[in-house]
Amino acid sequence: MFSRRLASIILRLLGWRSAFTPPPGPKSVIMFYPHTSNWDFPFGLLFKFNHDLMIHWAGKDSLFRWPFRRLFIRLGGVPINRRERTGMISQLLEVFTSSESFHICIAPEGTRSRTDHWKSGFYRLALAAKVPVGLGFIDYASRRVGVEDWVILSGNEETDLDMLRRYYADKKAYAPEKAGEIRFRSS
């Protein structure tokens, strides 16, 4: 309760607002876009605390080193080994299967640096787990952070990506030139 009030006060003092529509069920994948700055993380945490949510987040395992490992795990962090191309989806699917409630937030760009495509992990995970996707965002132009809409992916990548392009068209990154193009890498 205290952290909820404090997060709300901090957001207001910084001139930010949060928007939140609760998930339609006990499990979900929340994609967070655009992600171009280290500032996205504290604003995301303020959002999480402001709404008293148990949202986990995926982060590269190198972030989970001493002295921050325990703190990040307590804050909902799930370390992901990005050096290997396999394993993330199957590991997270196990968590979905064994949990009564689990919400994981993933940045589809996979980095704060410029990328010309999204990683498809969030997409494949949501389809395999048969869970809704929360459209998480940070919009520096309007100073808003949140999850307003929930969708069920069709499995048709182009249709789903078109829908995501429309939704995120007006969301402005901290560093717009770094925002990844909303498409998956061509095979």
Q: What is the DSSP string of 64-102?
A: S-TTTHHHHHHTTEEEE-TTSSSSHHHHHHHHHHH-SSE
54 found inside a domain: yes
- Examine residue 36 and state whether it is found in any structural domain, yes or no: yes
Domain, as residue range, for 164: 2-176
Q: Tell whether 184 is covered by a domain.
A: no
Query: Residue 63: inside a domain, yes or no?
Result: yes
- Ramachandran category for residue 180: left, alpha or beta (phi over 0 → left; psi -120 to 50 → alpha): beta
Q: Encode the chain (187 residues) as per-residue pLDDT tens digits.
A: 558 999 999 999 999 999 999 999 999 999 999 999 999 989 999 999 999 989 998 877 888 999 999 999 998 988 877 666 657 888 889 889 999 999 999 989 877 777 888 989 899 999 999 999 999 999 999 999 999 999 999 999 999 999 999 999 999 999 999 988 899 987 4
Alpha carbons 58 and 75: distance in angstroms, whole number: 11
Q: What pLDDT sits at residue 26? A: 96
The pLDDT of residue 117: 83
Distance, C-alpha 102 to centroid of its chain: 13
Residue 185 lies in a domain: no
Model confidence, pTM:
0.88
Given the structure tokens 């959002």, which residue do they identify?
47
In this prediction, residue 2 carries a pLDDT of: 58
Asked if the structure places residue 13 within a domain, the reply is yes
**In a domain? residue 12:** yes
Place of tokens 């590269």: 60
Determine the pLDDT at residue 63.
85
How many domains are contained in the chain? 1
The whole-number pLDDT of residue 82 equals: 66
Strand 133-139 relative to strand 144-151, pairing: antiparallel
Contacts (Cβ under 8 Å, ≥6 apart) of 111: 35
In a domain, 183, yes or no: no
